[in-house]
Amino acid sequence: MTTQIPPVARREPTAFSMHGETFHDDYAWMCRRDDPEVRAYLEAENAYGHAVLAPLAPLEATLYDEMLARIRQTDLSVPYRDGEYWYYSRTVEGQQYAIYARRHGSMEAPEEVLLDLNTLAEGHTFMGLGVYAISPDAGLLAYAIDTTGFREYTLHVKDLATGEARIVPVPRVGSFAWAADSRAFFYTVDDPVTKREFRMYAAVVDGGAARLVYEETDERFRVIVTRTRSRRYLVMYAASHITSEAHVLETDAPDGAWRVVSPRRQDREYDIEHHGDHFYIRVNDTAATFRVVSAPVAAPDEANWVEFLPAHLGVMLEGFECFAGHWVSWERSEGLPRIRVGPVGSPAGRLVEFGEEVYDVSPSINLTWETTRLRYRYESFVTSSSVYEYDMQTHVSVLLKRKEVLGDYDPSRYVSERLFAVAPDGVRVPISLVRLAGPTVAVPTYLTGYGAYGISYPVSFTSNRLSLLDRGVAFAVAHVRGGGELGRPWHDAGKLGQKSNSFTDFIAVADHLAAVGRTTPSQLVIEGGSAGGLLMGAVINARPDLASAAILQVPFVDVLNTMRDPTLPLTVGEYEEWGNPDIEEQFRWIRSYCPYTNLRSGSYPALLIRSSLNDSQVMYWEPAKYVAKLRTIDTDPRPVILLTNLDAGHSGASGRYDRLREIATDYAYVLWRVGLAG
């Protein structure tokens, strides 16, 4: 291996002008995926990166062995009931992927393997599972797999009695739903270029050609199909980032006409549930935090809406579900998720209680309609992923399974905390942090963040992280604006023209941790992926002194070029998150922070940047161009490393062991940069 920095050609530079400015892109040629020189450059960067990291190989191996030793490699998920069967997935030591299976009547019955991803993965370097849907009569399995990482899912329908295929495989399938007769089904497909799911088809097992049911012509909108929990209605949503519309059809009438619940109205989002003669509609028409209204199934338009759960300032109503006798609302207050449960017909609900200061909770699998039991998943920085069953009548939670951490794991050795930093405009920004128990002193810290699309960064558990914590590295999350931690207003305050709040929030968090003696810039490593990689790029440009190193995972760093190309996947729909550069005001927003556009000569921190050749969400050339340009202007001797997975997509390696090796590399890099690699 050589540690010589790969040479990069400024070949055929392109130029474009927008709103009075002219831009030159010396590395636009890297967008040519099939150009041998592009592949050669990525391979040269990989060779350089691995050479730089080669001295860390013993540490990587140690970390990998540690992390693997904490995992029960042969394991079983919590079984769930659907009709007469108990369904589950399991893993086997030495195998990369899960096996999906069921047992009839009880878990003591013989096992029936439904889908073995290890078998399907033979001959492929990537394996992703999309659709997984059992027919109502339990005789058929619809599943979709991707073998490229480019979100190219192909739909199959398998006869579970004979193992035979019941349809010709359908490419580019996104969502799927069965009709009640277990013969008819509906699915959506995406555009092969933009990856936008824009058509819904109806088909019949062993039938003829599929029938086009709906095509969405507005490029901002995507189409998905699903069912209500009651299984009485199919629901097709046409939705952009900020506007949605629902169409419904009885599951026992698949040849019938779909009805619009309420016609789309710009900036109004809603989704529906069903119970008896009513739909329950979660909608943000009167408040950004959403409310729930009910409406007759026969006439569900807005004129007939009756408020069931009012909106509350500071409480984001993230989801609403119906059971035969109860309703469940999934909420978020002061940055923390919570569950409220009440009897059907009454808005009076009761909160499920949790015992920790910082935690995450989310729905588990709840397929049974006639039940008083709600399953939910709970975890925190110190409590591993746990599935509970909550009795909605007695209000008691029972632990069904907690993911085992092998070895001598003791939660009391760690402290989980919630802190706040103050942004330049006076807004308090939440921080979630976990560290070894003991005195509060400055320690090496791994600080991450995301801040986009209204997605909340979960306070989740991973036994892998113990390899950092046990070596004295604290882990922290900056819950910056643009995410959903404090509801829709928090998201709105960190997108479009206010996107800069995400960056100043993150900087405020890093500065606060240093100011209160939790860490120092030389002990700080910052990290973010995808839109979080954009966060890292903008923060590094604004404050290259903030941290000693940064990890950018599949980073969205070439924002201006991407957003001015409507033929790329996601672009048009993303105008509602980032802005449309054809509009001058919105161009100015993006121009002000785009990491690639705003690279300037100077000293940058050490960087580890990961990319994937088959990424359909952030194209590989964004980080490749970013690194190539940075190499010409970075005056700091600390290394810039670009590692591109040539066989994967947005989430990196698909196999669990391969993914663990990537994490071991990242953690070895963190320990190296904070002086703990020895």
The catalytic site residues sit at 530, 615, 650
CA distance 601 to 588: 22
At 102, phi and psi to the nearest 5?
-155, 165
Contact 277, 299 (CB under 8 A): no
User: Which residue do the tokens 């196999």 mark?
Assistant: 655
**β-pairing, 524-529 with 445-449?**
parallel
The Cα-based distances of 260 to 120, 225, 234, 274 in angstroms read 39, 14, 12, 15
Contact 507, 452 (CB under 8 A): no
CA distance 531 to 658: 24
Structure-block tokens of residue 148: 């490229």
Residue type, 303: A
Which residues have C-beta within 8 Å of that of residue 232, sequence separation ≥ 6? Answer: 250, 251, 274
Structure-block tokens of residue 449: 């963040």
Q: In what order do the strands lie in the sheet with 140-146?
A: 128-134, 140-146, 154-159
Contact 345, 323 (CB under 8 A): no
At 310, phi and psi to the nearest 5?
-75, 160
At 315, phi and psi to the nearest 5?
-120, 110
CA distance 268 to 558: 30
CB neighbourhood size of 678 (10 A): 6
Strands (E), 169-290: 173-178, 184-190, 197-204, 211-215, 222-227, 233-239, 244-250, 259-260, 270-275, 278-283
Residues listed for the chain: 678
Which residues have C-beta within 8 Å of that of residue 111, sequence separation ≥ 6? Answer: 101, 102, 103
CA distance 182 to 135: 5
CA distance 34 to 126: 20
DSSP 315-328: EEEEEEEE-SSEEE
DSSP at 652: B
Contact 558, 621 (CB under 8 A): yes
The CA angle 65-71-76, to the nearest 5 degrees, is 150
Cβ neighbourhood burial of 34 (10 Å; 0-12, 13-18, 19+): exposed
Per the rule left: phi > 0, alpha: psi between -120 and 50, beta: everything else, 211 is: beta
CA distance 469 to 664: 14
DSSP at 25: E
CA distance 286 to 13: 50
Contact 472, 443 (CB under 8 A): yes
β-strand partners of 113: 101
Q: Is 28 helix (H, G, I), strand (E, B) or coil?
A: helix
Which residues have C-beta within 8 Å of that of residue 380, sequence separation ≥ 6? Answer: 356, 358, 359, 360, 416, 459, 460, 461
